[in-house]
Structure 1
Amino acid sequence: MSELPDPLSRRDRQQQTREALIFAARSVFAEDGYHAASLDRIAREAGFSKGAVYSNFDGKSALFLAVMDRNLELAEADRTDPFEQTTNPASTGHDVAEREGYPPAATQGFALATLEFIASAARDETIAPQLHQRLVAVLDYYNAIAQKARAEHETLAVSDVGKLLAALDQGAGLIQLAGDVAPDPELFNVGMRRLLDPARSVTEKESNT
């Protein structure tokens, strides 16, 4: 006779509830947008009452920030060297969505919801500092890429290169969201590599011709 597993502790149950709410919230935000998304629907999709949301998060903005945090964790795990990857970093979101069980359209939907949230949070003196922390974390992600692929004679600071990478990557994402014009992956990679190490980019181009 097999032994029954130990019952979950209160802390473990709460963690499972938070995870379920975050998973459901990402899908609802992606489908409805930030402003139109309701906590009632998020709770229902996760299999809980609305009270469960308020037991774990201060409100919709806190729940959205928790989803952003999860996305940042997944992106961190998927960080790659632009000299090794075959697609632009903006495609990472699609890869993460597929691996986590979200439909492909969820990546674009959540990106649009994020734009809504940023516009709202930037005007809120309580939420703005919390949003700033996440943006710093995003820059840290690009700084790590810049540090890993840093050219020997690079004169710009790692943080400066990181900001330029962020501007290129996030700017390309905005163009795609606004006009559904996807940057050509190869052209995007050329731009990323030239920004990180122009000399190495030229050498690679010559060796491939």
Structure 2
Amino acid sequence: MTQRPEPLSRRDRQQQTRDALISAARDVFAEDGYHSASVDRIAREAGFSKGAVYSNFQDKPSLFLAVMDQNLELAEVDLRDPFEQACNPASTGKDLAQREGYPPSATQGFALATLEFIASAARDEKVAPQLHKRLADVLGHYNEIARTARADDETLPASAVGTLLAALDQGAGLILLAADVLPDPEVFRAGMLRLVDPARALEERQPKA
């Protein structure tokens, strides 16, 4: 006799609903932008009523932050030691999109929506602290790269080197969004190397004997 699967618990059903709403929200934000995206459409795309959105998220900013959290969790593996291999800037989401099967237009669309959200959240006394926490977490990943990869004789603290790495990586993402210019992976890697260990970067550039 075929055994029937155990019925989902209330918590599991709620998590499934939450995951579906986050997935739909990512698509709608990417297509419509942050300000133009409506909670009604997000709920409809996920197959739920608007009430389901507000049962799981306080408001649209909270839903957008949830999408950001999931994207940041997925992107953690892209914040790698720059000495390992040439790669695209993690801020562009290019490697993440290829791995997760997102179309390039959706990746770019959500990045643009994120810029809208940041500009809005930075002016909102309630949302700004939540945004700052996420940005601090992102900087923490760059600081960890700096801590493990920087030269032994580096006089700058790891937090300073990490901030510079973040500035280079995130700046590359902004240039891509504004001008559709993506740095060559080898050139980008060379820049990251010069920040974390200039001597080793120069050694790697020397012609092989």
**Maintained 8 Å contact 2:88/2:94:** no
Q: Where in structure 1 are there 5+ consecutive unaligned residues?
A: none
Corresponding residue number in structure 2 for 1:11: 11
Do structure 1's residue 146 and structure 2's residue 146 form an aligned pair? yes
> Between Structure 1 and Structure 2, how many residues are aligned?
209
Aligned to 2:28: 28
Distance in 2 (alpha carbons) for counterparts of 1:92 and 1:175:
10
Could you report, residue by residue, the CA deviation over 1:173-197 in whole angstroms, capped at 9, with x for unpaired residues? 1111111122222211111001110
Deviation at 1:78, TM superposition (A): 3.1
User: What is the CA-CA distance between 1:116 and the residue it aligns to?
Assistant: 0.2
Partner Cα separation in structure 1 for residue 96 and residue 184 of structure 2: 20
2:67 alignment partner in structure 1: 67
Deviation at 1:139, TM superposition (A): 0.3
SS at match of 1:141: helix
Provide TM-score, normalisation by structure 1.
0.95
Amino acid of the structure 2 residue aligned with 1:180: D
Give me the whole-angstrom Cα distance separating, in 2, the residues matched to 1:83 and 1:14: 42
Q: Please say which of residues 84-93 and 44-53 is displaced more in the overlay.
A: 84-93
Q: CA deviation at 1:206?
A: 1.4
Matches within 5 A, 1:163-178: 163-178=163-178
AA of the residue aligned to 1:129: P
Structure 2: give runs of 5+ residues left out of the alignment. Answer: none
SS in 2 for 1:82: coil
Aligned AA for 1:130?
Answer: Q
- Retained in 1: the 8 A contact 2:78–2:90? no
Q: Percent identity?
A: 74
Matching of residues 45-56 of structure 1 within 5 Å: 45-56=45-56
Alignment of 1:196-207 (within 5 A): 196-207=196-207
> How big is the alpha-carbon RMSD for the aligned residues of Structure 1 and Structure 2?
1.5
CA apart distance, 1:207 = 4.9
On the 8 A contact 1:88/1:188 being kept in 2, the answer is yes
Contact 2:92 2:176 in 1 (8 A): no
Residue deviations 1:12-51 (CA, integer Å, cap 9, x gap) = 0000111111111111111110001111111111111111
2:188 matched residue in structure 1: 188
Task: Report the AA paired with residue 42 of structure 1.
Answer: I
